[in-house]
Amino acid sequence: MRQRILKLVPQLLAILVLAALALAVWAAWLGWDQHRDVHPDGSTTGPYEAWQVIGLVLTLLPLVYWAASRRYIAGAVLGITGGLTAAAYYDWSDDSSGLFMVGVGMVMVGSLVVTAVISAVIASVKRDGR
């Protein structure tokens, strides 16, 4: 029983560390830009630019690679997904329309699927020794 618990500790630690890092990366890339851009025709965009989201994704990829290459698949998937979901919830919860939960759900499902697929590919490539 004790050995089983000791095998879970690195996985749980990976989940917590990756969740905290995902929160920090969200804050670094997306947390500071909170205004929408109003165009001359009255339409609005934002609050994030494409380069910010691309930077977020490219910053998270090495974290996923690190965890998946060490067989912390649950850590990669649950940590990144949990961190991004919590960050999105905190960042968007002041929306008065209540639709922020739709966006939070989309962040959760999207990050869950993408990190699961990327982690599975990395783990299978590392297992084959390539």
Residues 6+ apart with CB under 8 A from 114: none
| Percent of the chain whose predicted confidence (pLDDT) is above 70 | 96
Question: Which helix or strand (DSSP H or E) is residue 10 part of?
Answer: helix 2-29
How far apart, in whole angstroms, are the C-alpha atoms of residue 130 and residue 21?
A: 28
Phi, psi angles (nearest 5°) of residue 37 = -90, 130
Asked if residue 130 has pLDDT above 60, the reply is no
**Residue pLDDT, tens place only, 18-31:** 999 999 999 999 98
* pLDDT, the chain, mean: 89
Residue 19 is which amino acid? Answer: A
- The pLDDT, as a whole number, for residue 39 is 76
Task: Identify the domain containing residue 15 by its residue range.
Answer: 2-128
Give phi and psi for 44, each to the nearest 5. Answer: -120, 150
pLDDT for residue 3 is more than 90: no
Using one digit for the tens of pLDDT, what is the confidence trace for 63-111? 999 999 998 999 999 999 999 999 999 988 888 887 899 999 999 999 9
| Mean pLDDT in residue range 114-129 | 88
Number of domains in the chain: 1
The answer on pLDDT for 128 being more than 70 is: no
DSSP annotation string for 17-71: HHHHHHHHHHHHHTTT---PEEPTTS-EE-SS-HHHHHHHHHHHHHHHHHHHHTT
User: What spatial distance separates the first Cα and last Cα of the chain, rounded to whole Å?
Assistant: 35
